[in-house]
Amino acid sequence: MTGSVRIETDNVPYKPRTDVVVVGTAYAPGGEPVRQLDVSLRVGRRLHNVVRVFGDRKWVFPTRMAAVPRMTDTAPFVEMPLIYERAFGGMDYKSSAWCPFNFIGRGFIGKKTKEAVDRTPLPNLEDPNDLISSWDDEPRPVGFGFYRKDWQPRAGYVGTEEGQEDADEQFGLPSDFQFDFYNGAHPYLQVEGYLQGDEEIELRHFTPDEYRRFSLPGIKPEVGVERYEGPGADASPEADVAGMRTTQTEPLTMNLDTFVLLPDEGEFYLVWRGCTPLPEKKLDDMDFSEFAAIDIRLDSS
């Protein structure tokens, strides 16, 4: 089974929300070992997310007669990778059960017997408002990275077998497919209504110097889509391309739908995306040279 997804493709047609993703590491202040710390991300007034990071711990039964396990002391750490292998989840092969929200994590126990629980590692990444206190607890996994396509709730957006029976003829998508599937950030890190691109960003404990603050550049791409009209509906495709002329240039609304931070590299990237309707003819018969002329201008004013 594959692990965490570091970077997910941008080649998707549409995202209904802005994905906010951090690919990084938690760092103890000053390089001094700690047993726990809070890592936080703030994006303007639109998003604030906190994850509590613990050192390694396990469930153990203190005596052979004990009926309830306890957590071991938390091991100190200086750095902790912020990956879903460290969040709650995983697979219990003995009971053929798994956490549908994170197959690759730790702490999930399918059949809660003493044998299954004893020495089971606890997750390093937890929601500070939903901390594990009992071996029966099954919190939602938390993290900052890309959320895999085969985990719930994301996997549920791809549609059903019943929907496949009425699939779209051109794209082959089930009739109950939801575009939410293309949002790849953790469900807690998806911003409704899209970011504007000028928000102030605050990062805590994602870097050895503890705190970073900066603002997004405020650049908004302006995209114009040129519509063409050919010599006639009955003309051959070659003649249509040769004789087509510009009829109008339409402004295309661009949404900032992806914001990925890479603190260890000191970088981030932004992706804007726009959608425009295609002419009313089947894609199989379409000459895509009709859509090759797109003027893009970046205006930072």
In a domain, 89, yes or no: yes
Q: Which of 191, 96, 184 is nearest to 143 (CA)?
A: 184
In a domain, 137, yes or no: yes
pLDDT at 294: 46
Count of domains forming the chain: 1
Confidence band of 301 (pLDDT split at 50, 70, 90): very low
The rounded distance, in Å, linking the Cα atoms of 273 and 56 is: 41
In a domain, 189, yes or no: yes
DSSP track, 176-196: T--GGGG--B-GGGEETT-B-
pLDDT at 289: 47
The rounded distance, in Å, linking the Cα atoms of 29 and 204 is: 10
In a domain, 9, yes or no: no
- Hey, what's the torsion of the CAs at 111, 115, 118, 122, to 10 degrees? -20
pLDDT for residue 137 is more than 80: yes
The continuous run of DSSP H or E covering 164 comes out as helix 161-165
pLDDT tens-digit readout, 13-26: 999 999 999 999 99
36 and 289 Cβ atoms separated by less than 8 Å: no
Q: Which structural domain range is residue 69 located in?
A: 18-149+184-299
**Collapsed DSSP state (helix, strand, coil) of residue 275:** coil
Confidence band of 150 (pLDDT split at 50, 70, 90): very high
**Model pTM score:** 0.86
**Exposure on the CB side of residue 87, measured as CA atoms within 13 A:** 24
In a domain, 104, yes or no: yes
pLDDT tens-digit readout, 190-246: 999 999 999 999 999 999 999 999 999 998 888 888 776 655 444 444 444 555 565
In this structure, of 69-73, 189-193, 264-268, 295-299, the range with the lowest mean pLDDT score is: 295-299
Confidence band of 175 (pLDDT split at 50, 70, 90): confident
Cis link prior to 277 (omega < 30° from 0)? no
pLDDT at 134: 93
In a domain, 236, yes or no: yes
Confidence band of 281 (pLDDT split at 50, 70, 90): low
Give bridge partners of residue 203 from the DSSP assignment. Answer: 41, 212
Q: What is the dihedral sign for C-alpha 195, 198, 200, 201?
A: positive
Confidence band of 1 (pLDDT split at 50, 70, 90): low
How many other CB atoms are found less than 10 A from the CB of residue 211? 12
